[in-house]
Structures are given as structure tokens and as C-alpha cells.
Amino acid sequence: MIFLFMSVFAHFFQSGWTGANERTFVAVKPDGVQWRLVGEIVRRFERKGFKLVGLKLVQASEDLLREHYWDLRNRPFFSSLIRYMSSGPVVAMVWQGLDVVKTARKMLGETDPSDSLPGTVWGDFCLEVGKNVIHGSDSVESAQKEISLWFGQKELQSWESSSRRWVY
């Protein structure tokens, strides 16, 4: 019975993340925090019309980072990635809006900064792949996983923007 309830709840919870309610996870990495880029990144997302529903400054534990980057665990750079991400504070954010996952990835640019256009975060602020200032979910499914790793349900805010009717 509990399993059935949890399955229905999970389906309802995930299906609510569509349209203008879609959410994505974005994290300013330690080098982005050190470069004082947090305000610039928040500004870009706000100007795009997305709604901030979660924000916190955290020193990520190695356990959290290993879980977050689990799919990269067999890559040769995995250990250095964990060291880099645990080297300083991270600003974790959840943004909400229409097609926010896809749009956020376009706002970030190409993973390799040399392939990123000016005007994108990676094009404007990154020099190498290994220290690339920011992370953004690459799919709705990974966004859901990452948000649940970094935020408890009570840490996410549900609020109505007075400008919503002007954006959508």
C-alpha cells in the first residue's frame, strides 16, 4: 500500500513539472563563486523570465557530489571533479519556467568553452572544461534527480510572480 502511494505521489509530483512549472537545477561551482559571478548568473535567469524557487550556499559533501556525478564515476577525471567541486562553496538553485531545462542549457552554452558563443555563461566566463563555473541539468529527468539530491521539498518555494501574466 505504501509503495502504491509513493508511486502515485512520485508520478503526480513529476507530472507537475511541465509547461510553465518545469524546473531545472543550476549550480554555480566553486570557481564561479570565487569569481563573484552568482549575481550575474541570477540576473541572466531573472531577465529571461524564469522564477527562482530554491537557492542556497552550500559546502557540498563528497557523498553528495559522488551521487550527483554518479554517471561519470568510471571516467578518468572523476576524482579531480569531486576535489574541484568540494574545494569551496557552491550556490545551488532551482529555476522554474516554460522549457527551462532546454533554455538554461542554451544560456550556458557548449560544455567546451572554446565552442561556446559570446553571450552564454561558458562563452563569457570559462577558459577550460575542467573549471567551467556552472552546472545545469541536461534533461527534465536529471533535473528532477538533481533537485531532489540538493534540496528537500520544504526548501523549495511555491509562489506566484506578479509578472507571470506578462511573461506567459
As given in the structure block, the three cell numbers for residue 15 are 507530472
Burial class (CB in 10 A: 0-12, 13-18, 19+), 110: middle
- Active-site residue (options: 135, 137, 143, 147): 135
Query: How many other CB atoms are there within 10 angstroms of residue 8's CB atom?
Result: 10
In whole angstroms, what is the distance from residue 67 CA to residue 150 CA?
10
The contacts of residue 90 (CB under 8 Å, 6+ apart) are 27, 28, 29, 30, 33, 57, 58, 59, 60
Let me know how long the chain is: 168
Q: Is 135 a catalytic residue?
A: yes
As given in the structure block, the three cell numbers for residue 163 are 509578472
Helices 100-108 & 38-48 angle (0-180, nearest 10): 130
| Residues assigned a catalytic role | 135
